[in-house]
Amino acid sequence: MSYQFLQQYWWFLVSLLGALLVFLMFVQGANSCMRSLGWTKEGKRLVVNSTGRKWEFTFTTLVTFGGAFFASFPLFYSTSFGGAYWLWMIILFSFVLQAVSYEFQNKLGNLLGPRTFQFFLVLNGILGPLLLGGAVATFFEGSNFIIEKANLTDLGAPIISRWANASHGLDALLNPWVLVFGLAVFFLARTLGILYVMNNVDDKDIRSRGSVRIIGAAVPFLILFVAYLVHLLLKDGYAADPVTGIISMEPYKYLHNLLDMPVVLIFLLVGIVGVLWGIGITIFKKDCNSGIWPAGVGTVITVLCLLLCAGWNNTAYYPSNVDLQSSLTIANSCSSEFTLRTMAIVSLLIPFVLAYIIYAWHSIDKKKITKDEIAHGDAY
């Protein structure tokens, strides 16, 4: 395994974790439409208990995603998580509110009342996907940071990356295309959340409302996603010279990436078809509640291919809009060969971890959630 192979391998693993995170945000998506999907008090509790069995998966994947980025591409971690900290702090704070809300909304002595904590779940359901989607969009749209590796020799202030303004990440939301992608992820999470609840909850009222609500989530998602995909394929991209490492603007860079990597292009199309198939069979096929599976698999494949397109094929995956040569590539921001090689050996355990997750997921979802279980069982 060469150093270059290890760099590409770890970008694949980080991209896979990011893709799984986007899929698992169906928890946030379902919570964001809790009131319209659940409608009644019992219905809301059914939705909360459906997502409450999976929120740990989302939170754990978010932490693992950040940890993998830190270990394999530490310069990105220090630049983005350290510089754009207001953006990441809002995201993390919303996830903390989510965890607290699940645990305390129906506990004895809850002075705030269940509605307050349900509001926190809705807030996380909106902010989580929107801001995470916006953060991912900066992989293509760029951010305002400066890298000065020469500062390593300054013992007084050995800080090599800094943000170019005082907004510390919130400036990304001023880019309309960042908002378009963030809203696309939000409506995708909402669509997946409705599909999951319809599959997981055995309640005719919720499934009936879900078959209608999904149209209101899927249509905006498709419009926003297609608009951003067209924008991405037609925009100038950030190309990195494989010999000198110099960053330059290249017209149609991301379109060229897909054409240069036909396997990624094919899988991207397969993923998009999977998402459309899951949505379509739910809308047009009566009493179909299994759309979450083709849509979920399609989501993972699609997001994985987009992230591979952002980093592979000599592309700067975290461009700087202030100083083009400060842009981060897989080669100039990764850990040492020894670190990547050691972690590659540890990564061989990933299939066993995934197998356990699948087994645990199946055990949790083996029995559909009903009103009787909410009334008499251990429920949120």
pLDDT digits (tens, 9 = 90+) for 262-286: 999 999 999 999 999 999 999 988 8
Is residue 161 within 8 A of residue 206, CB to CB? The reply is no
**Among residues of the chain, what percentage have pLDDT more than 70?**
94
Gap between the Cα atoms of 213 and 206, Å rounded? 10
Please state, in angstroms and rounded to a whole number, the distance separating the CA atoms of residues 76 and 78: 6
> pLDDT by residue (tens digit) across 31-70?
998 888 877 878 888 888 888 888 888 888 888 888 888 8
Cα(296)–Cα(33) distance, integer angstroms: 18
pLDDT of 376 over the 80 cut: no
Q: What is the mean pLDDT of residues 351-370?
A: 81
Q: Is the pLDDT of residue 199 over 70?
A: yes
Kindly tell me if the per-residue pLDDT of 360 is higher than 90. Answer: no
- For the stretch 134-173, pLDDT in tens is 999 999 999 999 888 766 666 666 677 888 888 888 888 8
Mean pLDDT of the chain: 88
Angle at 208 between CA 207 and CA 214, to 5 degrees: 80
Q: What are phi and psi of 315, to 5 degrees?
A: -120, 140
Residue 253 · residue 241 · CB < 8 Å: no
CA–CA gap between residue 249 and residue 261 (Å, rounded): 19
User: What confidence score (pLDDT) does residue 108 get?
Assistant: 62
Determine the pLDDT at residue 321: 92
Query: CA-CA distance, 330 to 313, in Å (whole number)?
Result: 10
CA 72 to chain centroid, in Å, comes to 18
**Section 317-324 average pLDDT:** 93
Tens digit of each residue's pLDDT (9 = 90 or more) over 231-274: 999 999 999 999 998 999 999 999 999 999 999 999 999 999 99
Report whether pLDDT(375) > 70: no
Characterize the bridge pairing of strands 237-240 and 247-250.
Answer: antiparallel
Is 0.85 surpassed by the pTM of this model?
A: yes
The pLDDT, as a whole number, for residue 167 is 85
Instruction: Say whether 143 sits in a helix, a strand or coil.
Output: strand
Alpha carbons 183 and 163: distance in angstroms, whole number: 25
Q: With beta carbons less than 8 A apart as the criterion, state whether 369 and 202 touch.
A: yes
Where residue 207 falls among pLDDT bands split at 50, 70, 90?
confident
What b/e readout covers 242-253, taking b as 16+ CB neighbours within 10 angstroms? Answer: eeeeebeebeeb
Beta-bridge partners for 147: 161
Rounded Cα distance, 185 and 200, in Å: 22
Return the axis-axis angle of helices 55-72 and 3-24, rounded to nearest 10°.
160
Structure tokens at 10: 């770890």
Span 195-216, average pLDDT:
87
d(CA 305, CA 16): 9
With CA atoms as reference, report the closest residue to 30 among 44, 49, 51: 51
The pLDDT of residue 379 is 62
Per residue in 60-110, pLDDT tens?
Answer: 888 888 888 888 999 998 888 878 888 888 988 988 888 888 877 766 666
